[in-house]
Structure 1
Amino acid sequence: MPGCERRVGQGSEGDGVLLAFDPDGGCGALDDAAERARVHRPSLPSLRSVREDEVDRALTDEPFDDLVEPSGVLLVASDGGQAVGCAGARFLGNVAELTKVFVSPTRRGTGLGAALLRAVEAACREQGVAVLRLDTRAALAEACALYERSGFERVAPFNADPYADRWYRKVLEP
């Protein structure tokens, strides 16, 4: 992968090393990568083949090119050079939207998702974010349970996303 990598944490029992990437290759910007992460577009494993038009539509509907400082952050969990998870946040003043949370099925239940959330929360605090929020679907029961265990509380809808049926927020302590 291009750029400089810094280890900023790991999942339970050493599974999955959490990395932050600086696509420009300069490590100086990553002195504290948990708080100042910048990334390239990660290549994540797929559970089924995806058509090119599906990828184009997803990138249009769910952009992530703004998940770099100063507008956001995207952290990638890697094990042996393979991406096994990610989580990002879009900075919107003193609020941030949690997005792109994914853990490979082979790594679920290892604590990696919680480690990713903690690292995103640290990056948000560094940016002066007071509230982290997200929308999701109840069908993603394991994800909802992770958010609730991590201190997120269900709230009234704050957007009109047609695919969301649950909204959460967490007040971040300084």
Structure 2
Amino acid sequence: MARRLTFAGVEDSQRLRGSGPRARAAAVRFEAVDPTSPAAVWAVGRYFAEIGRRFGFDPSAEPDDGAASLAAPGGCFVLAVSAGAAVACGGVRTIEDGVGEIKRMWVDDAWRGAGLGSRLLLHLEQTAHALGHHIVRLDSHESLTEAIALYGKAGYRPIGRYNDNPHATHFFERVPRPRP
């Protein structure tokens, strides 16, 4: 990637506050990046900090952060970028032939409620479809009520436990929507 992304998503986004939230969210670009890049590591750090606050998750207790599984060719990590700053992220990884999983989906607090989460979820589904997945799964924790509501609104249906994530309490699946 030739452009340098900044890591102060909230501060850099302040310039755009004059426009409506949906207009700001619609102007965000999605960029596939190496999941070990500084901008990706920063965004995932924000994700881990939030889930740590919400339900006590401690990423330092995990032996592997899962970044390698979100790298090409079997995966893809995406940053949502506004004014050169990462304001959201998420990734897709292959969990079995034809089945992908969305991981590490996070939207900065300053960007919530503007439709960016829905746009990011759709983009990740389309990425999963492009990777050859005919089913997309994801998991969540019961305290992440906004995420669970988003997944239901997007057409995800509850399924039984499909992984060994000890922090997940809800499991979902849907057929991904291809790019138009």
Please state if 1:134 is matched with 2:138.
Answer: yes
Please state if 1:12 is matched with 2:11.
Answer: no
CA contact (8 A) 2:125 2:176 kept: yes
When normalised by structure 1's length, the TM-score is 0.73
| Larger strand percent | 1
* Cα distance, 1:173–1:119 mapped onto 2, change above 3 Å: closer
Give the whole-Å Cα distance in 2 for the aligned partners of 1:160 and 1:39: 24
Tell me what 2:172 maps to: 168
Q: 1:91 aligns with which of 94, 111, 118?
A: 94
Give the whole-Å Cα distance in 1 for the aligned partners of 2:172 and 2:59: 27
Q: CA deviation at 1:80?
A: 1.6
CA contact (8 A) 1:98 1:133 kept: yes
Q: CA deviation at 1:61?
A: 3.8
CA contact (8 A) 1:20 1:39 kept: no
CA contact (8 A) 1:103 1:112 kept: yes
CA contact (8 A) 1:114 1:146 kept: yes
Give the whole-Å Cα distance in 1 for the aligned partners of 2:36 and 2:116: 18
Structure 2 counterpart SS, 1:86:
strand
Structure 2 counterpart SS, 1:20:
strand
Letter in 2 for 1:154: P
Q: How many residues align?
A: 149
Give the whole-Å Cα distance in 2 for the aligned partners of 1:21 and 1:135: 22
| Larger helix percent | 2
Give the whole-Å Cα distance in 1 for the aligned partners of 2:3 and 2:94: 23
Please state if 1:70 is matched with 2:73.
Answer: yes
Q: Which digits, 9 at most, give the CA deviation of each residue in 1:40-79, with x for residues without a partner?
A: 351227468x9xxx66545x34321231221101110122
* Cα distance, 1:163–1:56 mapped onto 2, change above 3 Å: closer
Give the whole-Å Cα distance in 2 for the aligned partners of 1:173 and 1:68: 21
Letter in 1 for 2:37: H
Give the whole-Å Cα distance in 1 for the aligned partners of 2:134 and 2:141: 24
Structure 1 counterpart SS, 2:117:
helix
Tell me what 1:154 maps to: 158
Q: Please give the root-mean-square deviation of Cα atoms over the aligned residues, in Å.
A: 2.7
Tell me what 1:33 maps to: none
Give the whole-Å Cα distance in 1 for the aligned partners of 2:135 and 2:122: 14
Tell me what 1:119 maps to: 123
Give the whole-Å Cα distance in 1 for the aligned partners of 2:30 and 2:177: 24
Unaligned runs of 5+ in 1: 6-10, 24-37
Identity of aligned residues (%): 26
Unaligned runs of 5+ in 2: 5-20, 53-57
